[in-house]
């Protein structure tokens, strides 16, 4: 139960922060230009690097279906949730926030634009949280694998 409370707090915090920031960019003109990175409103109708943008109208339903399948899996495998509760909370917060964007704005609201020495895709805080979740899961898996080899 403790893990659920921690995960829920992380989820709510990340989700609310992300939605407030996106609202600022989408409705309050929070754009700012910098020499290394700019904060610039962009709408992503696809997924990473605008892939699958031809599915723009259906993508939110596809992604929501994937979240539902993942949730059913976690309900049936609670030990996995308890073990990975922090990255799961980050993953759900970022993923559901981006899905909410699709319902609210018709696309995902992006705003971080790296352009020093090379141009990188425009992304948002939710994307960073999703990436962080994946990195944490990979690190946990590597540590577990090494631990099992030493036994």
What is the set of active-site residues? 110, 127
The H-or-E segment that residue 26 falls in is helix 2-27
What does each C-alpha distance from 94 to 13, 72, 97, 129 come to in angstroms? Answer: 11, 18, 5, 6
CA angle 78/62/93 to nearest 5° reads 50
What does each C-alpha distance from 27 to 21, 73, 92, 105, 123 come to in angstroms? Answer: 10, 37, 24, 10, 17
- The CB-side HSE value for 18 (13 A sphere, CA atoms) comes to 29
Give me the sheet containing 122-123, strands edge to edge. Answer: 37-44, 108-114, 122-123
């Amino acid at each position: 139960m403790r893990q659920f409370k921690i995960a829920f707090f992380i989820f709510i915090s990340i989700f609310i922060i992300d939605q407030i920031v996106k609202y600022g960019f989408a409705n309050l003109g929070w754009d700012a230009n910098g020499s290394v990175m700019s904060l610039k409103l962009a709408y992503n109708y696809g997924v990473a690097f605008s892939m699958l943008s031809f599915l723009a109208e259906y993508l939110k339903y596809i992604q929501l279906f994937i979240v539902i399948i993942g949730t059913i899996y976690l309900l049936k495998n609670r030990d996995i949730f308890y073990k990975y509760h922090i990255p799961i909370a980050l993953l759900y917060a970022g993923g559901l926030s981006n899905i909410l964007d699709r319902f609210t704005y018709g696309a995902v609201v992006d705003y971080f634009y790296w352009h020093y020495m090379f141009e990188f895709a425009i992304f948002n805080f939710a994307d960073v949280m999703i990436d962080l979740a994946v990195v944490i899961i990979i690190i946990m898996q590597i540590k577990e694998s090494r631990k099992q080899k030493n036994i």
